[in-house]
């Protein structure tokens, strides 16, 4: 029940923070990208790398997983692997990542309840673990633009199915800025601006322009 006397300047507990989240990257692999037709593949790769850099900038634990890497799908996306040097991806045989003991153990070990989920394909490799994790009490945030399905309809219908089950659709820039949340947080401000400039398209160009103008005025 609403009580105006309890209104205060404080963040919602529903917000993603560096302390309550874990990122799960599922099957960002060549063979999976070959079959992705829901959106521009280069854009999905760009969003995925931007999301991964957000995890690194805020020390959010990241779990990387692949399926049949040696026999069918190929290695983890090189651009993604570069963000987490030395970290091995958990390779599986199961289409449902949440049926792999090692993967579930890795997520459980982080102690985080909010899973920021992305991967290929939306209608299989995201739906299955999303529904499974939700059933076990996790909160799932699906990064739609860092994910893709075999067709626009497959991607959209999968998102709808996850939303109906309780998952929350987000975008990678939304995740980045929600983790930052306050521009006064100087310890992460510089890293966020670099990620934005490298991966956020027109927004990033706007930052480059603003910094150049401010720098020119400051020099003058």
Spell out the domains of the chain, with CATH numbers in brackets. Answer: 21-179 (3.40.50.850), 181-219 (no CATH)
Q: Which residues sit opposite 21 in a β-bridge?
A: 114
- Which pair of tokens denotes residue 106? 């890795």
pLDDT at 34: 96
What was the pLDDT predicted at 213?
86
What pLDDT, on a 0 to 100 scale, did the predictor assign at position 217? 59
Task: Supply the pLDDT for residue 120.
Answer: 98
- Phi/psi at 125 (nearest 5 deg)? -75, -10
CA-wise closest residue to 116 among 99, 90, 140, 137: 140
Global model pTM greater than 0.75: yes
Q: What is the mean pLDDT of each run of 10 residues along the chain (220 residues)?
A: 89 95 98 97 98 98 97 95 97 97 98 98 98 98 98 98 98 98 96 97 93 69
The label of the residue with tokens 């820039």 reads 173
* pLDDT, position 119: 98
Active-site residue list: 125
């Amino acid at each position: 029940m609403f009580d105006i006397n309890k209104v205060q300047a404080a963040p919602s507990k529903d917000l993603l923070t560096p302390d309550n989240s874990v990122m799960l990257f599922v099957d960002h692999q060549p063979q999976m990208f070959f079959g992705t037709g829901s959106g521009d593949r280069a854009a999905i790769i760009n969003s995925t790398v931007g999301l991964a850099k957000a995890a690194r900038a805020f020390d959010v634990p990241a779990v990387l997983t692949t399926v049949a890497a040696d026999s069918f799908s190929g290695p983890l996306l090189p651009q993604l692997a570069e963000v987490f040097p030395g970290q091995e991806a958990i390779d599986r045989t199961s289409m449902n990542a949440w049926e792999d003991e090692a993967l579930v153990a890795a997520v459980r070990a982080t102690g985080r309840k909010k899973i920021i989920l992305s991967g290929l394909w939306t209608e299989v490799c995201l739906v299955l673990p999303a529904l499974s994790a939700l059933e076990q009490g996790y909160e799932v945030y699906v990064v739609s633009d860092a994910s893709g399905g075999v067709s626009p309809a497959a991607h959209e219908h999968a998102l709808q199915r996850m939303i109906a089950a309780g998952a929350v659709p987000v975008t990678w820039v939304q995740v980045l800025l929600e983790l930052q949340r306050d521009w006064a947080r100087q310890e992460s401000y510089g890293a966020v601006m670099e990620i934005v400039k490298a991966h956020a398209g027109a927004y990033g160009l706007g930052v480059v322009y603003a910094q150049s103008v401010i720098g020119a005025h400051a020099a003058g």
